[in-house]
Chain A
Amino acid sequence: MTGQNDAGEEQGSGQMRLRTLFLASALAVGLGVTAANAVTFRYAFQGDLNALDPYTLNETFTLGALGNVYEGLTKRDKELKIIPGLAERWETPEPTRWRFYLRKGVKFAGGEDFTADDVVFSVERALAPGSQVSTRLPKDVKAVKVDDHTVDFVLSSPNPILHAEWDTWYIMSKKWAEANGATKPQPATGKELNNFALKSNGTGPFVITSHEPAVKTVFKPNPGWWGQKEHNLDEVIFTTIKQDATRVAALLSGEVDMIEPVPVQDMQRIDANPTTSVMTGPELRTIHLYFDSKRDELLYSSVKGKNPFKDARVRKAFYQAIDIEAIKSRVMRNLSVPSALLISPLLFAKAGDFKRHPYDPEAAKKLLAEAGYPNGFELTMHCPNDRYVNDEAICQAATAMLARIGVKATLQAQPKAQFFGRAGASGGFDTSFGMLGWTPGSFDSWNVIVNLVGCRDEKGNGGPFNYGGYCNKKVDELAEKILVEADTAKRDAMISEAYKIVHDEAGFIPLHQQTLAWGVSKKVKMVQRPDDQILFYWTTKQP
């Protein structure tokens, strides 16, 4: 640091000074100190950045961080629109054949040329055991190299959204992977450490120069990047700061330029601080409550021998008992957008056609009485307490609201590892009424309709995240058609129809989309996308 200051002060004087300056800067370079006017962007997140192999963890933050280093055939722009990435353009000569024309003259950071071989290799690697990005490609897809810069993807059935998730299916260099013995993703149980685990070699705007898992990662711009630079950063340093209060303190004291997430209770302080502000925006994840409508006898309940949630009237009664505006204003401090659907309105064009069932405890009581529960009943509600924004508080509020219609719900809030352990397929869907949040990885309704709404068996085949086991054959039939329908208008109409069935029989209680909250220094300008990826290639900072 001293070398750098000296260099700054001695500028603009005589010969001797110039020599000193030269010496000082030589010293600075020798010590690995960056230039005097280097712009360093520091950011902190509550979670860790672990393995750098882009196929071993399918998680927003990790994929976002690696999205500064790696690139897919497609990318998404500031508004989440699909734009060309490593592919310049693509076409579908037949419904089951997609042709991608690759960008020419692109090099990986390690110097390897980017060619069709790398794409074919990345397909194989993404589908290999241990890969977590395998869902981005159909299982039986065939990638065929046409020439060095053209690749065909041959499918067994039409798929209009084939490339929807390809912005986070990152292309890796075949040559480099082979040279580093890393042609397969790091398996979870392997004793040998994959070389990719702690190294990276992408085509993106940044390269990683040092990485200590879960501690600190340093990024530097990639001088050979093919694209148009939209940032002014010379260095980016990422650190994990788990503790909410410490993270906020680091932002307030100027030690970091950006933090995520901002605890709800600290937002005012960050806004009040002259050098920082909170950047909010809609998030894609939709939080909902689910009912066990599959079992013949409801678990953890006073009702014996039958399952009240099989009756749509009971579900609707629960729905209408929830005062979503109160949850928004009291629990979420207005940082939520109530939702009538299980998908964000940003991801479905016709979302505006749907309105939530109105909050009406009287109507709810009537519905319960009609269904044969004039005095309500007792049950246990299961929620995570460290997964979503204010998850436990939302559930607490819900139990209080249900009490007003005579339903005595006892809340059991658990850490996510335990909650998902019991509520998911591995725990045998062991809950009767609970909370789940979902972002469709493909940003498309089909994902929601299959994963959350599709009929499932006891093991979870069918709709693996349909924790309550809601089932309507008509919706399943629609889902099959939606998958292969290429006409957008027809497709949207069918999606609407499916959502309408679920809405009318109150299969779920959609609650809201959370609001993203980033704490940002006023020196920094960032782009906040609703998918919550932190992409600093659009970030500028005043030096």
Chain B
Amino acid sequence: MLAFILRRVAEAAIVLVVVALLAFLLFRFVGDPINQMVGQDVSIAEREALRAQLGLNDPLIVQLGRFLWNALQLDFGISYRFRQPVMELIGGRFPATFELAMMASVFALAVGIPLGVYTGIHRESLLSRFFLGVSLIGISLPTFLIGILLIYLFAVKLQWLPSYGRGATVDLGFWKTGLLTAAGLKALILPAITLGLFQLTLIARLVRSEMLEVLRTDFIKFARARGLTDRAIHFGHALKNTLVPVITIIGLQIGSIIAFAVVTETVFQWPGMGLLFISAVQNADIPIMAAYLLLVAAIFVTINLVVDLLYVIVDPRIRVAGGAKA
């Protein structure tokens, strides 16, 4: 068991190093950060001095070594554009992204599961067909477009909800939350729907197919033969059995919700990590890009690791195989 865990952790570390390498290589192509840092009147000599100061003139291998060494100590340096430590910047933006991701997940689950159950039970009903048709839109329309459509409908036409930003936030010292004010909650609705819509359709379709599967199994037939109510069968037995794969998928999707919040955050000017990343790309702000990419990689790797370890606990076969190899 210990050997298995160690091997998985080692693999995760390798993934992170590879991401760091790739990120570093990509930075060769993002453009000249100096030009984004200084005004047009700054002389060539001063630009060169700044370049030397930032270590951008050193040989590639030296820069790489320095980058990896600092990354190892979680030191990503000072943002070129903000002149603030990168970890502080990302830390300050994390609550916004996290709250958005959580609300999007809650929305996806709260709507997706009932939708899946309904369309699973009433396969042929008109309403089911309607839901499935609509859910196709959720999968096929790009997030960007959905966001803009929602803004025009709810912010410009109806004027019910704000079109951008986080509304009012409350600073708890370590965490700036928008969940405690009415304006903050209102501001959360549109972005959360936009971000969660894709996951919603995914969950609804997954639950539906699992329901169809389970409803065909023998124990459901026996339950019916015993004269249990539909309600008890559907929710007490069938739904419970569909949830195992759903939970797995949701775990894995949390990573991608955080990572793909970039587009939603840009559309709604949501002050989270994704927006920070986008402006960093535009300004060739390498320290922020590096830290963000590694952070997202770390989130994915950690979630995968946890899921892997959970499987070991749940499924003895993996444990045996792993133990046999080790």
Residues of chain A whose beta carbon lies under 8 Å from any beta carbon of chain B: 44, 48, 50-51, 56-59, 129, 132, 134-135, 186-191, 193-194, 197, 212-216, 239-243, 245-247, 249-250, 252-255, 386, 415-421, 424-427, 438-439, 441, 447, 451, 459-461, 464-465
**Chain A residue contacts of B267, Cβ below 8 A:** 243, 245-246
**Chain B residue contacts of A253, Cβ below 8 A:** 155-156, 159, 162-163
Sample 17 A-B pairs with CB under 8 A, ordered by A number: A129-B49, A134-B46, A135-B42, A188-B37, A197-B84, A240-B269, A242-B266, A242-B279, A250-B163, A255-B163, A417-B36, A417-B283, A417-B284, A426-B47, A426-B48, A439-B40, A441-B41
- Which of B232-240, B270-278, B306-314 lies at the binding interface? B270-278
B156-193 interface code vs A (CB 8 A; 1 in, 0 out): 10010011110000000000000000000000000000
Chain B interface: which size bin? 35 or more
Q: Would you call B278 and A461 a contact (CB within 8 A)?
A: no
Shortest C-beta distance, A275 to chain B (Å), equals 11
Task: Name which residue of chain B comes closest to A252, CB basis.
Answer: B156
Q: Would you call B164 and A420 a contact (CB within 8 A)?
A: no
Please, how many angstroms separate the alpha-carbon atoms of A415 and B44 in the complex? 21
Judged by a CB distance under 8 angstroms, whether B292 is at the interface is no
Judged by a CB distance under 8 angstroms, whether B85 is at the interface is yes
Please, how many angstroms separate the alpha-carbon atoms of A214 and B279 in the complex? 9
Shortest C-beta distance, B147 to chain A (Å), equals 8
Other-chain residue from A44, A51, A420, A424 in contact with B82 (beta carbon distance below 8 A): A51
Q: Would you call B38 and A386 a contact (CB within 8 A)?
A: no
- Contact A421 B269, CB 8 Å, known A135-B42, A193-B85: no
**Chain B residue contacts of A190, Cβ below 8 A:** 78, 83
Within 8 A of A (CB), among B55-97: 78, 80-85, 89
Judged by a CB distance under 8 angstroms, whether B53 is at the interface is yes
Other-chain residue from A186, A246, A252, A427 in contact with B269 (beta carbon distance below 8 A): A246
**Chain B residue contacts of A194, Cβ below 8 A:** 83
Shortest C-beta distance, A183 to chain B (Å), equals 16
**Chain A residue contacts of B82, Cβ below 8 A:** 50-51, 213-214
Shortest C-beta distance, B291 to chain A (Å), equals 15
Please, how many angstroms separate the alpha-carbon atoms of A213 and B288 in the complex? 14
Judged by a CB distance under 8 angstroms, whether B138 is at the interface is no
Residues of chain B whose beta carbon lies under 8 Å from any beta carbon of chain A: 29-44, 46-51, 53-54, 78, 80-85, 89, 148, 151-152, 155-156, 159, 162-165, 266-269, 271, 275-276, 278-279, 282-284
Q: Would you call B35 and A461 a contact (CB within 8 A)?
A: no
Q: Would you call A415 and B282 a contact (CB within 8 A)?
A: yes
Q: Would you call B83 and A239 a contact (CB within 8 A)?
A: no
Q: Would you call B41 and A135 a contact (CB within 8 A)?
A: yes
Q: Would you call B38 and A132 a contact (CB within 8 A)?
A: yes
Q: Would you call B165 and A58 a contact (CB within 8 A)?
A: no
- Contact A51 B155, CB 8 Å, known A246-B269, A415-B31: no
Please, how many angstroms separate the alpha-carbon atoms of A426 and B279 in the complex? 22
- Mostly, the A contact residues are loop
Listed residue (B38, B49, B278) with the most chain A CB atoms within 10 angstroms of its CB: B38
Q: Would you call B44 and A51 a contact (CB within 8 A)?
A: no
Please, how many angstroms separate the alpha-carbon atoms of A371 and B267 in the complex? 52
**Chain A residue contacts of B33, Cβ below 8 A:** 417
Please, how many angstroms separate the alpha-carbon atoms of A419 and B89 in the complex? 27
**Chain A residue contacts of B30, Cβ below 8 A:** 417-418
- Contact A58 B39, CB 8 Å, known A51-B82, A214-B271: yes
- A-B interface, 8 closest residue pairs, ranked by CB to CB distance from nearest: A58-B39, A417-B31, A421-B32, A418-B31, A417-B284, A135-B41, A421-B31, A420-B35
Task: Name which residue of chain A comes closest to B56, CB basis.
Answer: A426
Listed residue (B51, B148, B165) with the most chain A CB atoms within 10 angstroms of its CB: B165
A sample of 13 more A-B contacts (CB under 8 A), given A191-B78, A417-B282, is A48-B279, A51-B82, A57-B39, A186-B83, A215-B271, A242-B279, A249-B152, A249-B155, A253-B156, A425-B44, A460-B44, A461-B44, A465-B40
Please, how many angstroms separate the alpha-carbon atoms of A256 and B268 in the complex? 14
Please, how many angstroms separate the alpha-carbon atoms of A231 and B114 in the complex? 55
Q: Would you call A426 and B36 a contact (CB within 8 A)?
A: no
Please, how many angstroms separate the alpha-carbon atoms of A253 and B156 in the complex? 5
Please, how many angstroms separate the alpha-carbon atoms of A5 and B217 in the complex? 61
Q: Would you call B44 and A214 a contact (CB within 8 A)?
A: no
Listed residue (A252, A386, A441) with the most chain B CB atoms within 10 angstroms of its CB: A252
Listed residue (A59, A188, A216, A252) with the most chain B CB atoms within 10 angstroms of its CB: A188
